[in-house]
Amino acid sequence: MNTKAFTLVETMLCVLILSFVLLGVYGTLATGNALYTKDSTLLDMQQQTRNAMDRIVREVRQASSQTVTSISASSYKIVFSIPTATGVQYYLSGTNLIRQAPSGSTTTVASNIALLKFTLNGTLLQIQIQASKTIYNNTISFPLTEQVRLRNE
């Protein structure tokens, strides 16, 4: 009887080679997924931080140094008045950047904020925002600093 079949050694060798190929493919996919997640998280943080900074700068430019009624001792909160509203506040609550309007309504402007700092020097206001998030045991952060010249009144 002449039958053709694979031996046990040949079969085991094929399984071993296939295992190495599949491990390589899995490693490549896992690395690609981790990079994609990290990059998309960084992009989201950058967009949120820039949008928050633009919103703050747009409103603060309408204020004058006399209408900035307070910057907290720890510099994480600012209260100012603009021609259309008085008592506008921006502050950090946990990791959320909050805008509080004079009517008492609050809006979350950005999340994952690790640092919010305001420094007033005459008519020059410096705003620092840093977003931070931990992904796969790596902390990703995005700092942003802007200087705004307040109106002269």
Read off the pLDDT of residues 36-81 as tens digits, 9 standing for 90 and up. 999 999 999 999 999 999 999 999 998 887 778 777 667 789 998 8
d(CA 96, CA 112) in angstroms, rounded, equals 6
Q: Is the pTM of this model over 0.75?
A: yes
d(CA 78, CA 34) in angstroms, rounded, equals 38
Per-residue model confidence (pLDDT) at position 2: 66
Per-residue model confidence (pLDDT) at position 83: 86
Placement of tokens 């633009």 in the chain: 54
d(CA 50, CA 31) in angstroms, rounded, equals 28
DSSP single-letter state for residue 150: P
C-alpha distances out from residue 99 to 57, 59, 114, 126, 151, Å: 13, 11, 16, 18, 21
Per-residue model confidence (pLDDT) at position 121: 87
Per-residue model confidence (pLDDT) at position 3: 73
Query: Is it the case that residue 131 has pLDDT exceeding 90?
Result: yes
